[in-house]
Amino acid sequence: MKREKIIKIGDFETIIKFTEREQCFTREDPGKSLLVFDENTVEVFKGSIRDDKERETITLPAGEKHKNLGSVEAILKKALHSGMSRDDVFYGAGGGVVCDIAAFAASLYMRGTDCILVPTSLLAMVDASIGGKTGIDYEGYKNMVGTFFPAKEIRLCIGVLDSLPENEYLSGLAEVIKHALLGDERLLGLLEKERDKVMCRDPETVQAIVSSSVELKGNVVGVDFREEGDRAFLNFGHTFGHALESSVGFSRY
Ligand code: GLY
């Protein structure tokens, strides 16, 4: 299994890397970085981020109900007051909510600043971080305001899934099953054959299912980035799920 993949969207390339916790926020070139966490994910990386005066951090309140303009504005203010330029980098480290918000803010700041995503949930690894959909909920509607803005890099650290609550893990697994059903018979076979290893989060097996999922989604968004055709198949189950979430004000499900 390759440790690195590339998703091509027109001329743009997103590099997908399997990596260790300590390497999730490293930057080779000089420049400022703004790390966006939420209250939970900041704990996941405690002790594994080096102190660096070029690195700023913002920690958002956790949860879907904070996927709003207020969070985006907080990130933009932090970037501006830290003197960030378009050559600097926003990192979004978290589940789907943080990845969507951080990438949305990156797409707006100075008309587009590089974004690196470090998804910390299985769902964000296989779905939310891949393919450049960014955004927030608005006026009670899910993902109503946003942009198409692919990340420059996506860093996948399988080890962070160890502390993911079981219901969150299962919800990500549903996306993996979705991808298998949509077009990867080998993945479906692996899920069936290695069910126990999948359920106990065996790192090698989890990396294999994440890798296949990312491959499938990458192939779809590579040919239909703006969801004018086949990408809509990736919403299999989402339309119903989003309606359910909206119906209770994003507070219960
Ligand atoms: N989550 C569905 C998509 O990215 O198109």
The pLDDT of residue 201 is above 70: yes
128 Cα to the center of ligand 1, angstroms = 7
Other CB atoms within 10 A of residue 95 CB = 27
Task: Write the CA distances from 130 to 65, 73, 121, 226, integer angstroms.
Answer: 22, 23, 13, 13
Is 66's C-beta closer than 6 angstroms to any atom of ligand 1? no
Is 235's C-beta closer than 6 angstroms to any atom of ligand 1? yes
pLDDT digits (tens, 9 = 90+) for 94-153: 999 999 999 999 999 999 999 999 999 999 999 999 999 999 999 999 999 999 999 999
pLDDT digits (tens, 9 = 90+) for 60-96: 999 999 999 999 999 999 999 999 999 999 999 999 9
